[in-house]
Amino acid sequence: MYLEKENVSSHIAQAESSINRRNFIAGLWHGAFLALSMALTQPTTVISAFVVDLTGSTVWVGGLATVLTVAGALPQLFAARWIEPRPRKLPYLIFAISLRVVSWGTLAWLIYAIGSQQPMTLAWILVAMLIVFYAGGGLANIPYTDIIGKIIPEGKRGAFFGGKGALAGPLSLGAALAARQILANVPYPNNYAMLFGLAAIGLAIASLGFWAIREPINTTVKVESQSWNEYWQQLLMISRRMKTLIAAQLLTGFSLMALPFYIVYARNTLGAPTETIGWFLLAQVSGGALSNLVWARLVDLSGSRRMLFFCAITSALTPLLAIALSPLGWMALLPVFFLVGATSDGRRVGFQSALLEVAPAAKRSTYAGLNTVLTLPVAFLSLAAGLFLQHWSYTALFLFAAIFIGIGAIIIHRWSTR
């Protein structure tokens, strides 16, 4: 009898290990092909350059970045209250990913069908489809955070994010090289149509990872539906617990204020030709790919807070480097885009890990949604930067961003020593 029980326990353990390994690999698959898709349509290079081609306006560049962040953030609290009590989150995630695939594919077809004769029509279509895409991303964030928290144990999250980055690296670099060739050799605006079409295919392939995941159902954690009054009271309590995390994200978020304008600065001030977009994209993707393993290793060895401190210091130096290198011409900005990629991915790895550390298992969806909404003011920084540039210089903008990022680094340092 004892041996029979031991054999049953051994089989159960082997089955659980097999499922955990399958889930880990499926999560890596999704992350790798998602990175490939996003490398083809980087908002700070490809989309910003497309918006400038269509409108010629820095206000449009900054305003679109703001609209997209708001579109991704606002649905999250409402989605969190609705999705959190559900035992299975995976169907909602797959629906959100499918929404994003459809929006990118539709945008690609419309760009090709309309052509270059109606730039403002294309600009508004771009806004509409991007809103759908980013709203789908906001909806996906709620179940994604909970699912990753369930299938990736805390001690392996650094390895997961690092492994995802290691797999994504070659795919992203390949995508960036392909994007450079497409932008340089395919006539405008079909070059952008092709990029969005390929991105839609990449997202569809990425979604296969989540189709393969076996979502564990935690029977020990029960989440009951709440009235709106109870839910708002809970949000107030959680927001107090997250105040340092939110402050760190808001202040270091000033890096996002400058991001869409490095490419505009290179083209409008330093005279970079259109084909250089591909080089800047390649540098940015390379920075993200090569830095991922470093950030992930730092998370596992020193914790997410210490890792975020180093990321914030690098981020504060990036706009200063843009100022220092600009007299050498647009080619000298390639290291700036490399660091943009490194710090953008670093923020994602560090703040995702930090959020999973502070969020109880039963409340991950609410923490994820509230985190996005409370950091929403960052969305308006790009719009503010676009308006700022109507009266001030790029140098002033970059200095302004560096100061606030530096203050954020100080707060993270104090947070990491608690």
**What's the rounded Cα separation, in Å, for the pair 140 and 131?**
14
Amino acid code (one letter) for 386: G
Mean pLDDT of the chain: 81
Nearest alpha-carbon partner for 342 in 307, 398, 299, 290: 290
Counted residue by residue, the chain has a size of: 418
What pLDDT shows up at residue 15?
47
Find the mean pLDDT for residues 258-287: 82
Of the candidates 337, 346, 331, 354, the one whose C-alpha atom is nearest the C-alpha of residue 416 is 354
Residue 3 pLDDT: 47
Looking at per-residue pLDDT, the higher value among 238 and 152 belongs to: 238
Query: Cβ neighbours of residue 214 under 8 Å, at least 6 residues apart?
Result: 19, 22, 23
Respond yes or no on whether the N-terminal peptide bond of residue 189 is cis (omega within 30° of 0): yes
What pLDDT is attached to residue 106? 92
Predicted local confidence at residue 165, as pLDDT: 67
CB 100 within 8 A of CB 137: yes
The SS3 of residue 244 is: helix
The residues, any chain, with a CB within 8 Å of residue 149's CB and separated by 6 or more, are 356, 359, 361, 364
Three-state secondary structure readout of 11-23: HHHHHHHHHHHHH
pLDDT in tens, 309-342: 999 999 999 999 999 999 998 888 999 999 998 9
C-alpha neighbours within 13 Å on the C-beta side of residue 395: 7
Q: What is the pLDDT of residue 162?
A: 67
Please give the structure tokens belonging to residue 51. Answer: 């918006």
3-state secondary structure of 393: coil
Say if residues 339 and 291 touch (Cβ distance below 8 Å): no
Residue keyed to tokens 């994003």: 100
| Whole-number pLDDT of residue 11 | 44
CATH architecture classification, 19-212+229-416: Up-down Bundle (1.20)
Given a contact cutoff of 8 angstroms between Cβ atoms, the answer to whether 37 and 203 are in contact is yes
Of the candidates 378, 338, 348, 349, which has an alpha carbon nearest to the alpha carbon of residue 255? 378
Tens digits of residue pLDDT in 7-17:
444 544 454 56
Which comes out higher in pLDDT, residue 374 or 338?
A: 338
- Considering Cα of 108, then 110, then 116, then 120, what sign does the dihedral take? negative
First-last CA distance in the chain:
51
pTM of the model: 0.65
Q: Do residues 338 and 283 touch, judged by C-beta distance below 8 A?
A: yes
Alpha helix positions (H), 186-303: 190-212, 228-241, 243-252, 254-268, 276-302
Q: How far is CA 4 from the centre of its chain?
A: 49
Statement: residue 368 has pLDDT above 70: yes
User: For 95-109, how does the pLDDT look when each residue is reduced to its tens digit (9 = 90+)?
Assistant: 888 988 999 899 899
Question: Which tokens hold the place of 99?
Answer: 């929404």
| Tokens representing residue 238 in the block | 């959680």
Q: Return d(Cα 51, Cα 48) in angstroms, integer.
A: 5
DSSP string, 168-179: HHHHHHHHHHHH
Burial (CB count <10 Å: 0-12, 13-18, 19+), residue 69: buried
Residues 176-181, mean pLDDT to the nearest whole number: 81
- Please give the pLDDT value at position 226: 64
Range of weakest confidence among 82-91, 178-187, 240-249:
82-91
Structure tokens, 305: 């807070």
What pLDDT, in 10s, does the model give residues 292-301? Answer: 778 878 887 8
pLDDT reported for residue 366: 77
DSSP 159: H
What pLDDT, on a 0 to 100 scale, did the predictor assign at position 158?
65
For residue 198 the two structure tokens come to 């390929």
DSSP H stretches of helix in 84-222: 90-114, 119-151, 157-185, 190-212
Percent of the residues in the chain that have a pLDDT greater than 90, as a whole number: 17
Q: What is the pLDDT of residue 357?
A: 82
CB 365 within 8 A of CB 83: yes
Q: Considering only 22-31, 161-170, 312-321, 352-361, which range has the smallest mean pLDDT?
A: 161-170
Average of per-residue pLDDT across 257-277: 82
Q: What confidence tier does 114 reach under pLDDT thresholds 50, 70, 90?
A: confident
Q: Report residue 218's pLDDT band, with 50, 70 and 90 as the boundaries.
A: low
Hey, where are the domains in the chain? 19-212+229-416
| Cβ neighbours, 10 Å, residue 345 | 27
Type and span of the H or E element at 388: helix 379-388
